[in-house]
Chain A
Amino acid sequence: MSDHEYTPSSKVGKWFNDRLPLLTLANHLTDYPTPKNLNYWWTFGGILTFCLITQIVTGLTLAMHYIAHADMAFESVEHIMRDVNYGWLIRYIHANGASMFFLAVYIHIFRSLFYGSYKSPREIIWIIGIIIYLLMMAAAFMGYVLPWGQMSFWGATVITNLFSAIPLVGEGIVTWLWGGYSVDNPTLTRFFTLHYLIPFLILGLVVLHIWALHVPGNNNPVGIDIKKPSKDTVPFHPYIVIKDGFALLMFMIVFAFFVFYSPNILGHADNYIEANPMVTPAHIVPEWYLLPFYAILRSVPDKLLGVVAMLSAILILAVLPWLDTSKIRSAVFRPLYKQFYWILVADVLILGYMGAMPAEGLYLLIARVATAYYFLHFLVILPVLGFKEKTLPIPLSITEPVLGGSPNLATAKHKEDIVK
Chain B
Amino acid sequence: MKNLIKLLSVLAFISLAVTTSSNSAETTKLLKTDWSFKGLFGKFDRGALQRGYQVYTEVCASCHSMKYVSYRNLGEKGGPEFSEAEVKAIAASFELTDGPNADGEMFTRPAKPSDKFVMPYENVKAAQAANGGAYPPDMSVLVKARGGGVDYIYSLLQGYEDAPSGITLDEGVYYNKYMYGNKIKMAAPLSDDLIEYGDGTNATVEQMSKDVTTFLMWAAEPHLESRHQMGFKAIIYLIILTVLVYFSMKKIWSRVESEV
Contact = CB atoms under 8 A, between A and B. Distances in A.
A265 B7 CA distance: 22
A196 B257 CA distance: 45
A242 B248 contact: yes
A349 B232 CA distance: 32
Contacts of A262: 19
A253 B242 contact: yes
A245 B18 CA distance: 26
Contacts of B8: 250
Most buried by B among A99, A246, A266, A268: A246
A87 to B, nearest CB: 9
A256 B252 contact: no
B17 A269 contact: no
A265 B234 contact: no
Contacts of B25: 283
A264 interface: yes
A324 B24 CA distance: 38
A99 B15 CA distance: 10
Contact of A246 (B228, B245, B260): B245
Contact of B68 (A75, A256, A273, A282): A75
Contact of A356 (B3, B22, B256): B22
Interface in A356-390: 356-357
A12 interface: no
A36 B238 contact: no
Nearest to A258: B15
A256 B228 contact: no
Contacts of B257: 402
Nearest to B253: A239
Interface of A: 36, 39-41, 75, 78-79, 81-82, 88-89, 92, 99, 103, 107, 231, 234, 238-239, 242-243, 245-247, 249-254, 256-266, 268-270, 272-273, 282-283, 288, 349, 352-353, 356-357, 399, 402-403
Contacts of B6: 40
Contacts of B239: 253
A254 B22 contact: no
A253 B227 contact: no
21 contacts: A40-B4, A40-B6, A75-B68, A82-B73, A82-B223, A88-B223, A92-B227, A242-B252, A245-B245, A249-B241, A249-B245, A250-B8, A252-B238, A256-B238, A262-B19, A264-B144, A268-B22, A270-B145, A272-B144, A288-B21, A356-B22
A261 B252 contact: no
Contacts of A263: 227
A82 to B, nearest CB: 6
B238 A269 contact: no
B235 A356 contact: no
Interface in B123-145: 137, 140-141, 144-145
Q: Please provide the 4 A-B residue pairs with the shortest distance between their CB atoms, ordered closest to farther.
A: A260-B231, A272-B145, A249-B242, A272-B144
Nearest to B7: A40
B108 interface: no
Chain A interface helix/strand/loop/mixed: helix
B140 A260 contact: no
Contacts of B180: 282
Contacts of A270: 145
Contact of A249 (B11, B140, B238): B238
Given A260-B230, A265-B23, A242 B245 contact: yes
Contacts of B140: 78
Contact of B249 (A36, A234, A243, A349): A243
A404 B6 CA distance: 20
Contacts of A259: 231
Interface in B11-42: 11, 14-15, 17-19, 21-25, 40
B181 to A, nearest CB: 9
Contacts of A264: 144
Given A266-B22, A273-B145, A239 B256 contact: yes
Contacts of B77: none
A82 B224 CA distance: 11
Interface string B173-210: 00000001000000000000000000000000000000
Contacts of A250: 8, 242
Given A246-B242, A250-B8, A260-B227, A272 B141 contact: yes
A364 B30 CA distance: 29
B146 interface: yes
B52 interface: no
A260 B234 contact: yes
Contacts of B147: 269
A406 to B, nearest CB: 11
Given A89-B227, A269-B146, A260 B235 contact: yes
A41 B245 contact: no
Contact of A266 (B18, B245, B249): B18
Given A249-B245, A250-B242, A254-B15, A39 B3 contact: yes
Contacts of A402: 257, 260
B246 interface: yes
B223 A261 contact: no
A89 B238 contact: no
B235 A257 contact: yes
Nearest to B40: A261
A246 B239 CA distance: 11
